Amino acid sequence: MGSTSRLIGQYYWLLSIPLLIFGFWAEWQDFVLLWYDSIIYSHGYLVLAGILFLLYLRRHKLATLTINGSPLALLLLAAASAVLLFAQAADVRFVRLILVPVLIVLWGWSIWGRGFPKVAGGPILLMLYAAPIWDDLSPLLQHITVFFNDILLKFVDIQATIKEFYIVLDVGTFYVAGGCSGVRYLMVGLFLATFYGQLYYRSHLLTLLLVIFAGLLSMFANWLRVFGVIAAGHYTDMETSLIENHEAFGWGVFIVFTLIPLFYISSKLEAHFQNDDDSAKAAIERPRPRYTSAAWPVISSLLILWPAIIPLVVDAKTRRVSESWNPELVETNSDWRGPLPHANIWQPEYQNYDIELSGVYVSSDLRQVQLHITGYRRQTQNKELIYFGNKLFNQKKWQLVSTTKRDLANRYSAAPTRVNETIIQDLSNGSQVILWSWYDVGGVLTDSKIEAKVAGALNKIFGDSRGALWVLAGRCDGDNDSDCEQQRAVFNRFLASTE
């Protein structure tokens, strides 16, 4: 039994490659799509190659690891895998992709103890340089780039006016877009510095210093790149091809002002801070194993697999529920006629929906209410109720007047106790339309996007991924908010008639 456990401990890291591929199959697919589709993250292939290379170099150290289970790591792994399952159900891609390297490190730690993160943790966490968490830095880096370019332009006596991300010269206007923020160069510079440190340094302090230098040099190179394009435009009266095509120019500047100085700095750091081989050996010394049972890799692997297995288990129920779901426009009492087809008060701008129902109801005093339902039978990535591409109105036809939350005076079965009230104005004739909207997620009625997202994720785990937007629309009597008061009363009458 002891020899079997030792054999599993030594070579399970190799046998586990198919496990990690299958367990994170959906995430690996998203990584590849991200790297393929996004210019900002196209360096992801380089990051993956660097990780595999470092792990290959450390394969002998990995082979010496034996089972030394960690209860703390197992607990953290269970919590992280639960978060992954929820993020999968809610289709929160950036959370899912961030969790992949974290889960792999926790998985190895829970089986082989602290020896695994010391040997493989650094290379694996390099994957964070290729995860979609860096976009949020773009606005900050845009501001910094504009600020330093203002200084550089003044230094060479080029007159410019700064308007947020616009740099206005006499010859033309330059816009420092998100792609000009330098986030790509920053990520590549930080990755290369960290990779170099993992490859040659045994001191975390040396790696940190190199990473700091890489970050500063990468940003400096981007400032010079943007300045070079602006200066070229200024001196050529906007005739230079650099204005439209400066990709190669940018990487040339990056090589000259980041990679070459970084190579020089890395050698100087290594020369001034010699590594002690004995301390390096001590860094991977492990205490006497306490938890050596083969159950540790089994339990840890199940925690890796269950977020991928549960959707497969409930897939049949999810398909059955989605196919049998056929929402209908509501029926009202005799005070209302409808629903009448060809609703023309308003139309939302939602993407990739499965169901769209719309009709106008007319009251006995000739007041109109349009009821609109946009439904998703089975929500998936880019085909979901709460999605950045879904808009309540077409912004080319309508202008937003106001938006607020409105508590309903009575409780109605067709609506939550509070709805989203939006007033919009027709750009063609100035008329106003009032909208009351809410979400129906597997029977949960709510006005909150967050609550709808959470409820949808929980329902999806148990095989129900339905979701729908419900909207009441009506014309206001005038151009002011107070002119919509009568239509609010009509909405309440309509909801009461559905009871």
Are 254 and 233 within one domain?
Answer: yes
pTM of the predicted model over 0.75: yes
For the chain, how many structural domains are there in total? 3
- On average, the pLDDT of the chain sits at 87
For residue 292, is pLDDT > 80? no
Are 164 and 233 within one domain?
Answer: yes
470, 452, 469, 456: which is closest to 318 by C-alpha? 456
Are 296 and 325 within one domain?
Answer: no
With respect to residue 459, please indicate whether it lies within any of the assigned structural domains: yes
List, for residues 69-118, the tens digit of each pLDDT value.
Answer: 899 999 999 999 999 998 888 888 889 999 999 999 999 999 999 999 99
- Identify whether the C-beta of residue 45 lies closer than 8 Å to the C-beta of residue 35: yes
Residue 400, pLDDT score: 93
Are 327 and 269 within one domain?
Answer: no
With respect to residue 193, please indicate whether it lies within any of the assigned structural domains: yes
Residues of the chain above pLDDT 70, percent: 92
Are 147 and 268 within one domain?
Answer: yes
Residue 118, judged by CB atoms within 10 A of its CB (0-12, 13-18, 19+), counts as middle
Residue 257, pLDDT score: 92
* Residue with more model confidence, 381 or 121: 121
| Dihedral of the alpha carbons of 172, 178, 184, 185, in degrees to the nearest 10 | 40
Residue 282, pLDDT score: 44
Are 307 and 325 within one domain?
Answer: no
DSSP-assigned letters across all residues of 412-461? -TTS-SEEEEEEEEETTT--EEEEEEEEEETTEEES-HHHHHHHHHHHHH
Which residue carries 């937003």 as its tokens? 400
Q: If pLDDT is split at 50, 70 and 90, which confidence band does 138 have?
A: confident
User: Residue 323 phi/psi, 5° resolution?
Assistant: -70, -30
List, for residues 311-350, the tens digit of each pLDDT value.
Answer: 888 878 888 888 888 888 988 888 899 888 876 789 999 9
With respect to residue 284, please indicate whether it lies within any of the assigned structural domains: no
280, 294, 83, 108: which is closest to 200 by C-alpha? 280
Tell me the β-bridge partners of 371: 359, 472
Token representation of residue 382: 């880019």
With respect to residue 120, please indicate whether it lies within any of the assigned structural domains: no
Half-sphere exposure of 32 (CA within 13 A, CB side): 6
d(CA 228, CA 244): 13
Give me the mean pLDDT over the 124-132 stretch.
95
Tell me the β-bridge partners of 445: 440
User: Residue 7 phi/psi, 5° resolution?
Assistant: -65, -40
With respect to residue 127, please indicate whether it lies within any of the assigned structural domains: no
For residue 152, is pLDDT > 80? yes
Q: If pLDDT is split at 50, 70 and 90, which confidence band does 481 have?
A: low
Q: Is 493 helix (H, G, I), strand (E, B) or coil?
A: helix
Non-local (6+) Cβ contacts of 192 within 8 A are: 214, 259, 262
Are 398 and 457 within one domain?
Answer: yes
What is the side-by-side strand order in the sheet with 173-175? Answer: 161-163, 166-168, 173-175
- Identify whether the C-beta of residue 457 lies closer than 8 Å to the C-beta of residue 386: no
Give me the mean pLDDT over the 172-193 stretch.
88
Are 304 and 356 within one domain?
Answer: no
What's the Cα-to-Cα distance from 281 to each of 119, 329, 409, 411, rounded to whole Å? 11, 71, 72, 70
For residue 495, is pLDDT > 50? yes
With respect to residue 177, please indicate whether it lies within any of the assigned structural domains: yes
Are 294 and 432 within one domain?
Answer: no
Are 436 and 488 within one domain?
Answer: yes
Q: Which residues of 64-86 are buried (b: 16+ CB within 10 A; e: fewer)?
A: ebbbbbbeebbebbbebbebbbb
Q: If pLDDT is split at 50, 70 and 90, which confidence band does 6 have?
A: low
With respect to residue 126, please indicate whether it lies within any of the assigned structural domains: no
List, for residues 193-215, the tens digit of each pLDDT value.
Answer: 999 999 988 888 889 999 999 99
For residue 161, is pLDDT > 80? yes
List, for residues 49-60, the tens digit of each pLDDT value.
Answer: 999 999 999 988
Residue 283, pLDDT score: 45
For residue 8, is pLDDT > 60? no
Are 330 and 454 within one domain?
Answer: yes
Give me the mean pLDDT over the 139-166 stretch.
89
Are 209 and 298 within one domain?
Answer: no
With respect to residue 282, please indicate whether it lies within any of the assigned structural domains: no
Domain span at residue 67 reads 2-114+289-313
Residue 278, pLDDT score: 42
Residue 462, pLDDT score: 85
Q: If pLDDT is split at 50, 70 and 90, which confidence band does 233 have?
A: confident
Residue 250, pLDDT score: 84
DSSP-assigned letters across all residues of 109-153? HHHHTTHHIIIIIHHHHGGGGGSTTSGGGHHHHHHHHHHHHHHHH
Give me the mean pLDDT over the 247-264 stretch.
89
